[in-house]
Amino acid sequence: MMQNFRFVSRIGFCSGKEIIMVKLSKDKPLIHNECEINETSFGKYVEIGYGSRLNNCTIGDYSYCDRYTDIANSKIGKFSNIASFVRIGPTDHPMEKASLHHFLYRSSDYWDDSKHDDSFFIQRKSKVTEIGHDTWIGHGAIIKPQLKIGTGAVVGAGSVVTKNVKPYTIVAGVPAKPIKKRFSENIIEKLLYLSWWNWSHSKIRLALDDFRNDNIENFLDKYS
């Protein structure tokens, strides 16, 4: 789905003078300068950081990525927090062939009488990575293709994720391994059932003080 983008710089200060920050919008994603966007659709209140590259992606409502993020063939849920220099769904090379090089599938870049290998690109696109709602992907993390990162999960900075991550689980390392659950199984079950990320914009605003001030038990007591 093609959309209109707003390409902006969101710098707060320049030469000591304050600049009015561009607000997020429900109508158009906020796309910072020097981004490459291809075959990607965006939800409401989305922000894409400077120099990021997105190819064949769906970005859910309220999600954002920081500078120089590279996301390919991925479905990003709502309220996802993606730090700078993250790579999600990095594309592969034909390891089972005699060569790994681009000339195998980007052949027309090298010879006028040859064509790109469309079947290779179709196969790449089919390896979809899924990032759940309200996730946090730390700085410089890499998430391999065809994985599922559960809702509420946290991926530590610099991690290389090679396996699925369960909801509300913190993982870190190379390769990434589970560190701990953020909450008890009972609370996780209640959060997944509540699915606050599907609330309306106005309902989330009404609950803002409770999001900020309540501990998780009190919050769930109010809204479950």
Q: Cα-flanking dihedrals φ and ψ of residue 215, to 5°? A: -75, 170
Q: What is the pTM of this model?
A: 0.89
Domain ranges of the chain: 6-92+127-182, 183-224
Average pLDDT of the segment spanning 18-45:
90
Structural tokens at position 24: 């997020």
Catalytic residues, by residue number, are 93
The CATH number that domain 6-92+127-182 falls under is 2.160.10.10
What's the one-letter identity of residue 23?
K
pLDDT, tens digit, for every residue of 137-164?
Answer: 999 999 999 999 999 999 999 999 999 9
pLDDT over 90 for what percent of the chain? 87
State mean pLDDT over 83-95.
Answer: 94
Residue 16 to residues 9, 13, 19: CA-CA distances in angstroms?
16, 6, 9
> Alpha-carbon torsion 126, 68, 30, 23, what sign?
positive
The encoded tokens of residue 3 equal 């959309």
Residue 208 is predicted with a pLDDT of 98
Q: Which tens digit of pLDDT belongs to each residue from 2-13?
A: 455 555 555 555
Beta carbons within 8 Å of 206's beta carbon, 6+ residues apart: none
pLDDT tens-digit readout, 170-223: 999 999 999 999 999 999 999 999 999 999 999 999 999 999 999 999 999 999
CA angle at 205 for the pair 201 and 211, rounded to the nearest 5°: 120
Using alpha carbons, list the distances in angstroms from residue 165 to 72, 75, 126, 139, 154: 19, 15, 20, 17, 9
Supply the pLDDT for residue 214: 98
CA nearest to 93, candidates 145, 138, 21, 57: 145
